[in-house]
Structure 1
Amino acid sequence: MRQTSKPGPGYYLSFLLIGPLTYLAHELGHWAGGEAVGVDMWMTLNKAGAVDDSMPGRLEAIIIAASGPVVTLVIAVIAWQLATTRRSFIAYGVLYFQLMFRLVAGGITLAGNHPNDEAAVGVMLGIGAYPLTIAMSLLLLALTWDTARRLRPGLLANFAGYALSSLVITVFVFADSLMRGADIRLL
C-alpha cells in the first residue's frame, strides 16, 4: 500500500534539533567509551579524545574510536524501527541524518584528508581505512533506502533532509573549530 501522507513542517524543523542532539550523542559515545575503560577524556562539539597525560593502549584506543559509531548505529536502528513500524517521518529524519553524518565523515576519509572513526578502527585492526567506512555507510544507506521505500517521503523531503543535514554538520564543524581555537571544551 502506498503512503499518501507527506512529511509536514515538523519533519523539516526537526533536523535542527535531531542533528545537534545525535551529533552530540556520537561524540558523547567516544567520551563515555574512553571513560568506561579508565581513560581520562575531553570532548568538544566535533571531537573527543584522551587528555594529554592519559595515554590509552591499543584496545582502549579501538574502544574509544568505535564507541561513537556504535552510538550512531544504535540511534539509526532505533530510528529505522520507529519509522517503519510507526510510519514516523521524524524517525525517518533521525535515520537520514545518521546516514548523512557518516557519509560526510566517510567522504573525508575517502578523499584522504583525515580518517574518520570507522577508518581509524580499521587501521588499528589491520584491515585498512576503507572496509569499515564503506560498510557503515552501506548499512545506513540500506536502512534509509528501506525506510524511504516504505514511507515514500518524496524527493523534496530527501533534498531538504540533505540540505538541513549539511547545514547542521557545517555549523557544528565550524563552531567546533571556533571553540577549539578558544580552548573551550564541553567535557
Structure 2
Amino acid sequence: MVRRQRIGAGFYAQLFGLMVLTFVVHEAGHWAAGRALGYEAYFSLNSAGVRDPSIPVEHMIAVRAGGVVVTLLQALLGLALVLTRGSLAAYAVLFSAAFMRFMAAVMTMMQPNDEAAITLAMGWGRWSGHALVVAVLVGMTIWGARHLRIGWKANLLAWAVASVAVTAVVGLDMALQGGL
C-alpha cells in the first residue's frame, strides 16, 4: 500500500476535466459501435446513437453496449495505473467512470439508460444491468481509494466536483442541441 495521498485543488480540477472527457469517450463508444455496424450515427456531449429507427434489437444492444464497454475499459485502465503506479490522476479516471454510470442509473428512473435499455431488451428487467455495472465500478473505485489511502472527505468533495461536471455537461449539451 502506498502512503496517504495529499489531494489538492489540482486533483479536483483534473477530475472535472476527466468527467467531461469520460462523457465524450463514452458517447464515442456508442458512435463507433453504430458506425461499425454500418449505420449513420450521431454524437454529442451527452448522447450518441444511430439515426435508423428500424434498427434490429441486437444492433441496438451492441450500440448501447459500445459506450458502456468503453467506460468499463476506462475504469480498468485507471485501476491498473492506480495499483501499479499509485497514480492519483488515474484515480480520477476511475472515479469518473464509476460516477458517470451511477448517475446513469439514477437517470434511468426517468428514462432507461444504456444498461437498462440493454437488460430490458434481453428480458432481464430494468435494474440488473445497472446493478452489475455500478457494483463493479464502485468496487474498483473503493479498491483504488483504499490502495491510495484516499479518505471519505476527499471522495465526498470528488462527488461534489463530479456532480457539478455532470450538470455542466448535460446543460452544455442541451444548450448546443437548442434545448435551453
Q: TM-score, with normalisation over the residues of structure 1?
A: 0.90
For residue 89 of structure 1, report the CA deviation from its aligned partner: 0.9
Residues of 2 paired with 1:148 and 1:54: CA distance?
A: 42
Say whether residues 1:131 and 2:128 are aligned partners: yes
**Which consecutive aligned stretches of 4+ in structure 1 deviate over 3 angstroms post-superposition?**
none
Question: Percent identity, aligned pairs only?
Answer: 35
- 2:115 aligned to which of 118, 132, 146: 118
For residue 159 of structure 1, report the CA deviation from its aligned partner: 1.6
Residue of structure 2 in register with 1:82 after alignment? 81
Residues of 2 paired with 1:145 and 1:156: CA distance?
A: 14
The answer on whether the counterparts of 1:65 and 1:121 sit within 8 Å (CA) in structure 2 is yes
Say whether residues 1:71 and 2:67 are aligned partners: no
Say whether residues 1:58 and 2:57 are aligned partners: yes
Residues of 1 paired with 2:73 and 2:168: CA distance?
A: 24
For residue 11 of structure 1, report the CA deviation from its aligned partner: 1.4
The answer on whether the counterparts of 2:15 and 2:158 sit within 8 Å (CA) in structure 1 is yes
Residues of 1 paired with 2:89 and 2:43: CA distance?
A: 28
Listed one character per residue, the Cα deviations across residues 39-97 of structure 1 (whole Å, up to 9, x for unaligned) are: 1111111001222x563211111101111010000000000000111111111111111
Q: TM-score, with normalisation over the residues of structure 2?
A: 0.93
Say whether residues 1:165 and 2:174 are aligned partners: no
RMSD over equivalenced CA pairs, Å: 1.5
Residue of structure 2 in register with 1:104 after alignment? 103
Say whether residues 1:146 and 2:177 are aligned partners: no
Residues of 2 paired with 1:178 and 1:68: CA distance?
A: 22
The answer on whether the counterparts of 2:5 and 2:88 sit within 8 Å (CA) in structure 1 is no
The answer on whether the counterparts of 1:40 and 1:54 sit within 8 Å (CA) in structure 2 is no
Residues of 2 paired with 1:61 and 1:37: CA distance?
A: 10
Structure 1 gap ranges (5+): 183-187
Residues of 2 paired with 1:157 and 1:113: CA distance?
A: 30
